[in-house]
């Protein structure tokens, strides 16, 4: 593990990063899904739809929704499996117990089938055997890990040969004008929105800063290849504001 890890624009001792991230999500957990809708003007549903449709599903699939938080991606995958007449072992993994509790309660309140498990774990040390998982999905969570290289290595470790890795994450707009407008919106509007809706500007300032520190499209693809993934590619959405990276475990 590196000695330090980025926490927004700060550098924290690596040993302190996970606790700092848990603190952020403990504050925002109750308003997390609402804030995602407001911050993205509803576009999060379009991006997540593309992710869910890209996942290669089959009957009996074992899938990890890592940094899955309140289980939104798992819920969408369950719906798609049901439409296909399939079942699967879908597990939500997150380092924030507060997010997991909100997700568990949300599923119960709506009468949705619960995931196979809600698992409290960091992405760097997953409690699964080698080559035991068919698919690994992480949406808007990889930028919050302490050690990116180790998190990718863990994803590769738990996937079966031929298993699929999917990462949906904020990235770099490809148009300079869009990039400037996106920066202006992110830093001027999102923290204020966080204060208004969640009573917490600082946590949303961190989330904005964490996006700027995360590797852009090509750099993340190279990190995935270094971790042992093959057939690595990505698809940009909304001009590169968000990108879906995919890879296959060798």
| Cα(194)–Cα(196) distance, integer angstroms | 5
Beta strands in the chain (DSSP E): 4-7, 10-13, 61-66, 88-94, 117-120, 133-139, 159-170, 229-237, 242-249
Q: Which two tokens stand for residue 245?
A: 């990276």
d(CA 98, CA 100): 5
* Neighbour tally for 90: CB within 10 Å: 25
How many domains is the chain built from?
1
pTM for this model (two decimals): 0.95
State residue 130's pLDDT score. 98
Sheet containing strand 229-237, edge to edge, reads 117-120, 88-94, 61-66, 133-139, 159-170, 242-249, 229-237
**Distance separating alpha carbons of residues 154 and 168, to the nearest angstrom:** 17
3-state secondary structure 3-52: CEEEECCEEEEHHHHHHHHHHHHHHHHHHHHHHHHHHHCCHHHHHHHHHH
pLDDT at residue 34 greater than cutoff 90: no
**Looking at residue 199, what is its pLDDT?**
86
180-195 pLDDT per residue, tens: 999 999 999 999 999 9
CATH for 79: 3.40.50.150
End-to-end CA distance of the chain: 24
Percent of residues, the chain, with pLDDT higher than 90? 90
SS3 at position 227: coil
What is the structure's pLDDT at 198? Answer: 81
- What is the domain extent for residue 25? 4-249
Counted residue by residue, the chain has a size of: 250
User: Ramachandran region of residue 150, left (φ > 0), alpha (ψ -120 to 50) or beta?
Assistant: alpha
- With cut-offs at 50, 70 and 90, classify the pLDDT of residue 32: confident
């Amino acid at each position: 593990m590196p000695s330090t890890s980025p926490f927004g624009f700060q550098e924290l001792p690596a040993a302190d990063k996970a606790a700092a991230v848990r603190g952020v999500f403990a504050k925002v957990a109750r308003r997390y899904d609402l804030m995602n809708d407001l911050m993205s003007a509803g576009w999060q549903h379009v991006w997540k739809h593309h992710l869910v449709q890209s996942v290669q599903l089959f009957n009996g699939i074992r899938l990890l929704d890592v940094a899955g938080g309140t289980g939104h991606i798992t819920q969408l995958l369950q719906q798609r499996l049901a439409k296909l007449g399939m079942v699967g072992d879908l597990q939500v993994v997150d380092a924030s117990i507060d997010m997991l509790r909100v997700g568990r309660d949300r599923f119960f309140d709506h009468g949705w089938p619960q995931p196979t498990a809600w698992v409290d774990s960091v992405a760097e040390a997953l409690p699964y055997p080698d080559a035991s998982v068919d698919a690994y999905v992480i949406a808007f969570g990889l930028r919050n890990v302490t050690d990116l290289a180790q998190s990718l290595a863990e994803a590769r470790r738990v996937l079966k040969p031929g298993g699929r890795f999917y990462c949906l994450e904020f990235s770099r707009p490809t148009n300079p004008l869009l990039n400037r407008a996106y920066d202006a919106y992110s830093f001027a509007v999102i923290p204020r929105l966080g204060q208004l809706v969640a009573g917490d500007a600082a946590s949303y300032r961190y989330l904005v800063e964490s996006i700027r520190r995360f590797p852009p499209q090509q750099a993340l693809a190279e990190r995935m290849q270094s971790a042992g993934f093959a057939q690595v590619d990505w698809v940009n959405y909304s001009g590169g504001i968000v990108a879906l990276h995919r890879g296959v475990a060798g």
